[in-house]
Structure 1
């Protein structure tokens, strides 16, 4: 029994950096923007390429784990994660950092199914396995929730490179413990690997996200945007068609035809879009507009981190007491109220009110996420639980990646429409300062103090206005989702065996 809990300890140590890296760059975004001279679009790619690549690669990596055994997959994934962390820390520019973050996503996509397979193979007793899965879920939620605070603490004492180098001690510890203490598992040499379909999915998602981000640019050509959008949609539809015909599909598309499962996936995706987008915008608002340090920004966001990471058990009790439909709809509706309140709150003058709204948002979004998980897992027979888990994982990771993309698109469009720059700037400086608040900060570094103050004042006002607009739209989106959930989960029945 000691060996089983030792394996769980190794799994937790491996999962912690994977979870933290999903959100650790949120408070580092302003620092990276200035340090690397990254454009608004490049900054968004740096942040969300990790989740997008992980979402597409986690399916075939699960099959690879079945073929190699979870210990070998875990070790390979941790080694790649460590190497990519070094590459990210040493990246000289935005393009190299994007590439390194993509490799981090590949490593994470190997670690994630390895940890789940490790729990499944190590804990034979159902009760103990549920306890282990609960610990695993708490580590994932807590790591992602506290990622911004971890980033703030590191940036308060070190350069941005340390955000990635901090992974190395944990990587070394996991490799040592896994190599010495985790038993080997026999792999299945007959397990089929279908990386081509997975690559197709990744390219489709990246093409769709690229079309969104390219549309942000003032020099963007709509024909190019539409062509890339059409290419992404074509590849996505082709992926679905191939999966439906495949004898061993990466993703059980048939499950998504079930109303309850589809609703749960949509809830998870949209909730993550809203939560991740909010955290990213909040981190920039607090630093660029309020003048807070990364650590101060992370501390200011602590209520939403605590609320979202600690409400899981309570949300489960609510679902058991009042039912999935009522709790899911209420969670999404309260999220809409939280976004509306934050859209009309002055963070500088009303910090206590902001913390109250953030607490409500954290509790309600986490409840919505857990309800989405319950909807998915309660609607499938036991033999399809793994396939349903794959759908849930993809919804979470795609939501995290798309949240950055959509928040960036809406924010940039609103920012450009609202900004009123002072006279006297060159055309190039005015174009950059009018593109994003991060690029305005870069321009301000090259101006005299009076002109720099005027530029940053104009950028701050435009960003605050745009932030409120985006949060208002998030409130409208969650309100619509609450209505959809209420009606689609009515008389929901589980999938037949």
Structure 2
């Protein structure tokens, strides 16, 4: 008979504290995180230059941004499971090597469609990086206080990469062609491979058995069509196509869940152990991860174009103006470990989400003639809220998962992040594009497709109309983002208040964990 045994939070026993080698290993794990974040933000700032050089349509431009996180999100669960089988370090080295080689190919791409394909391949290899790094953090840092600090440092790789992306991208675009934003990945990947082989510990194969290939296919078939449906809604796709994509995605998702349960019941290993999702706290943590990444990606998508094409600032200056927001993410992430000793997670996570919502609300006030200071302040609020939230939610995810499921749990968390990245561009970027097209006064063609196309016409009347339409699109998009973040803050407060004890803070006891399934026989 199968009996569900809930895990009761207890005070942790003293754990072995990490030494110098573990902290050096963390520095190595920081680099792939930095690499992925730099790649995303550099591309955002290179969009105007890419638009000029390759003349992509608005749809191709969105796919150029989305291809990487879409493929990555679809494969994260699979790669996390593979990491549990072959070892996280081995998977990390393969992923970093492939990432560097594809970046070299993307550097010299001369066609927009080929660049989309290169971004998809980057997503394939990128899917190997994030579950591996997060699982290795779990293995390296057993003491919870040290692990929370390590997670904060690891998470700052996203913010630091986002901060360096505009600066490095601005410098490169000021002196070189747009392909240089991909070339910069190559020496970093080479460095990571060398350091990983010397500093990272060998990771044991904690899970055995054949990989569930059917589950791999179903997981991708569940993720990709749903995101495609969101893109079609935002871009004005036909109802038939939207309904078909949703039906395929939902159907594949249902089939995936049934298959996972059936395999688990017969003693076989599914791609995803659904028991990891038994905890409401774990589920809300992953949903919060999705929402924060949606907010960050959406902000970068419209902020880079707003600063450069509406206010007329250069790439370097635009990057500098967004730098305080990324710095706020780093500071808030590091402060989260200290705050968690004084305040419970049920207070801190909703506070972080509400702070990010306030930043988005400020963006509603942006206009064609608004100064950049308002966007700078909004970016600081959004960054601080994201930094505080994601550090704590990552700790919840890792604490809830058993050691032999660390890769899978990390992959689930990263899947939420990447789905958020896709939705940030697809939903918020799609809404922005739809508003722009609906209100711009320009003839059919590039000027009506994108703001960059309108600026290239050099027609003052068209440019003025395009900037006004884009600013209106930013206002509508920011309002939608503020509502999403506020709703997530409310949901987090309700769930965490119900499922965490008022006197329990993350520093005092482990986060509530999913139920274990014990087998007993009468």
Say if 2:28 and 2:192, in contact at 8 Å, map to a contact too.
yes
SS in 1 for 2:419: helix
C-alpha displacement of 1:460: 0.7
How many residues align structurally?
482
Q: Quote the Cα distance in structure 2 between the aligned partners of 1:480 and 1:121.
A: 34
Matched, 1:491 2:498: yes
TM-score by length of 2: 0.83
Equivalence for 1:255: 276
Q: Quote the Cα distance in structure 2 between the aligned partners of 1:238 and 1:334.
A: 38
Q: 1:39 aligns with which of 57, 70, 73?
A: 57
Please give the per-residue CA displacement for 1:66-111, whole angstroms capped at 9, x wherever unaligned.
Answer: 4433443233212211111012112221211111111111112223
Please give the per-residue CA displacement for 1:180-218, whole angstroms capped at 9, x wherever unaligned.
Answer: 666656657944323442333223322222233234446
Equivalence for 2:105: 87
C-alpha displacement of 1:119: 4.7
Matched, 1:214 2:232: yes
1:163–1:315: structure 2 CA closer, same or farther, 3 Å change rule? same
Matched, 1:478 2:494: no
Q: Quote the Cα distance in structure 2 between the aligned partners of 1:372 and 1:122.
A: 19
Say if 1:39 and 1:439, in contact at 8 Å, map to a contact too.
no
Say if 2:79 and 2:127, in contact at 8 Å, map to a contact too.
yes
Equivalence for 2:123: 105
C-alpha displacement of 1:399: 0.8
Write the mapping of 1:2-17 to structure 2, written as runs, cut at 5 A: 7-17=25-35
Say if 2:152 and 2:391, in contact at 8 Å, map to a contact too.
no
Equivalence for 1:225: 242
Write the mapping of 1:61-460 to structure 2, written as runs, cut at 5 A: 61-119=79-137, 132-179=150-197, 187=205, 190-217=208-235, 220-247=237-264, 248-346=269-367, 349-377=370-398, 386-421=407-442, 425=443, 430-442=444-456, 444=457, 449=458, 452-460=459-467
Say if 1:324 and 1:375, in contact at 8 Å, map to a contact too.
no
Say if 1:79 and 1:171, in contact at 8 Å, map to a contact too.
yes
Please give the per-residue CA displacement for 1:247-303, whole angstroms capped at 9, x wherever unaligned.
Answer: 323223333343222222211111211221011111111111111122121111112
Please give the per-residue CA displacement for 1:438-484, whole angstroms capped at 9, x wherever unaligned.
Answer: 33345x1xxxx4xx222121111100011011101211222222222
C-alpha displacement of 1:29: 1.6
C-alpha displacement of 1:130: 6.2
Q: Which runs of 5+ in 1 are unaligned?
A: none
Say if 1:244 and 1:254, in contact at 8 Å, map to a contact too.
no
1:145–1:394: structure 2 CA closer, same or farther, 3 Å change rule? farther
Q: Quote the Cα distance in structure 2 between the aligned partners of 1:146 and 1:410.
A: 28
Say if 1:146 and 1:305, in contact at 8 Å, map to a contact too.
no
Quote the RMSD (CA, aligned, Å): 2.9
1:243–1:162: structure 2 CA closer, same or farther, 3 Å change rule? same
Say if 1:437 and 1:463, in contact at 8 Å, map to a contact too.
yes
Q: Quote the Cα distance in structure 2 between the aligned partners of 1:126 and 1:260.
A: 18
Q: Greater shift after overlay, 401-410 or 149-158?
A: 149-158
SS in 1 for 2:45: coil
Q: Greater shift after overlay, 468-477 or 373-382?
A: 373-382
C-alpha displacement of 1:371: 4.0
C-alpha displacement of 1:117: 4.7
Q: Greater shift after overlay, 395-404 or 125-134?
A: 125-134
TM-score by length of 1: 0.87
SS in 2 for 1:336: helix
C-alpha displacement of 1:237: 2.2
Q: Greater shift after overlay, 277-286 or 364-373?
A: 364-373
SS in 2 for 1:251: coil
Say if 1:333 and 1:479, in contact at 8 Å, map to a contact too.
yes
Q: Quote the Cα distance in structure 2 between the aligned partners of 1:478 and 1:125.
A: 32
SS in 2 for 1:25: helix
Higher RCO structure, 1 or 2 (CA under 8 Å, sep 6+): 2
1:4–1:335: structure 2 CA closer, same or farther, 3 Å change rule? closer
C-alpha displacement of 1:487: 1.8
Equivalence for 2:520: none
Q: 1:28 aligns with which of 46, 51, 61?
A: 46
1:409–1:129: structure 2 CA closer, same or farther, 3 Å change rule? closer
Please give the per-residue CA displacement for 1:321-342, whole angstroms capped at 9, x wherever unaligned.
Answer: 2222222222222222221112
1:109–1:454: structure 2 CA closer, same or farther, 3 Å change rule? same
1:60–1:205: structure 2 CA closer, same or farther, 3 Å change rule? closer
Say if 2:106 and 2:115, in contact at 8 Å, map to a contact too.
yes
Say if 1:14 and 1:78, in contact at 8 Å, map to a contact too.
yes
